[in-house]
Amino acid sequence: MAEVGARPSPPPPGGLPRLLLPLDRVPPFLPPFLPPSAMTRSRQETLALRKQLIGSSCRLFFPEDPVKIVQATNQYMYDEHGNEYLDCINNVAHVGHCHPEVVKAAHQQNLLLNTNSRYLHDNLVDYAQRLSKTLPEKLCMFYFLNSGSEANDLALRLARQYTKHEDIMVVEHAYHGHLTSLIDISPYKFRNLGGQKEWVHVAPLPDTYRGIYREDHADPALAYANEAKTIIDQAHERGRKFAAFFMESLPSVAGQIIPPFGYFQKVAEHIHKAGGVFVADEIQVGFGRVGKHFWAFQLQGEDFIPDIVTMGKPIGNGHPVACVATTKEIAGAFSSTGVEYFNTFGGNPVSCAIGITVLDVIEKERLQAHALQVGSFLMELLNQQKVKHPLIGDIRGVGLFIGVDLVQNQEKRSPATTEAEFIITRLKEELIMLSTDGPGRNVLKFKPPLCFNARDAKLVVEKLDQILSDLEKRSA
Any alpha helices (H) in 367-430, and if so which ranges? 367-388, 417-429
Specify the pTM. 0.91
Say whether pLDDT at 213 is over 80.
yes
**CA-to-CA distance for 238 and 233, rounded, in angstroms?**
9
**CA-to-CA distance for 311 and 152, rounded, in angstroms?**
9
- Render pLDDT for 287-339 as a digit per residue (tens, 0 to 9): 999 999 999 999 999 999 999 999 999 999 999 999 999 999 999 999 999 99
pLDDT attached to residue 8: 32
pLDDT attached to residue 4: 32
pLDDT attached to residue 474: 85
Say whether pLDDT at 118 is over 70.
yes
Asked whether 47 and 66 are in contact (CB, 8 A), the reply is yes
Q: Delimit the domains of the chain by residue range.
A: 36-95+366-475, 100-364
Strand order in the sheet with 308-311: 141-145, 322-326, 308-311, 277-281, 242-248, 167-171, 200-203
Q: How does DSSP classify residue 157?
A: H
- Render pLDDT for 363-382 as a digit per residue (tens, 0 to 9): 999 999 999 999 999 999 99
pLDDT > 90 fraction of the chain, expressed in percent and rounded: 89
- Render pLDDT for 414-454 as a digit per residue (tens, 0 to 9): 999 999 999 999 999 999 999 999 999 999 999 999 999 99
**Average pLDDT over every residue of 53-58:** 94
pLDDT attached to residue 32: 59
* Greater model confidence, 12 or 169: 169
Range 100-364: architecture per CATH:
3-Layer(aba) Sandwich (3.40)
CATH number for 36-95+366-475 (one of 3.90.1150.10, 1.10.10.60, 3.40.50.2300, 2.30.30.100): it is: 3.90.1150.10
**Average pLDDT over every residue of 234-259:** 97
Q: What is the mean pLDDT of the chain?
A: 92
pLDDT > 70 fraction of the chain, expressed in percent and rounded: 92
Which of 18-32, 157-171, 256-270, 317-331 is least confident? Answer: 18-32
- Burial of 9 from C-beta contacts in 10 A (0-12 / 13-18 / 19+): middle
- Render pLDDT for 5-55 as a digit per residue (tens, 0 to 9): 332 333 333 333 334 445 455 555 555 566 655 567 899 999 999 999 999
**CA-to-CA distance for 284 and 136, rounded, in angstroms?**
19
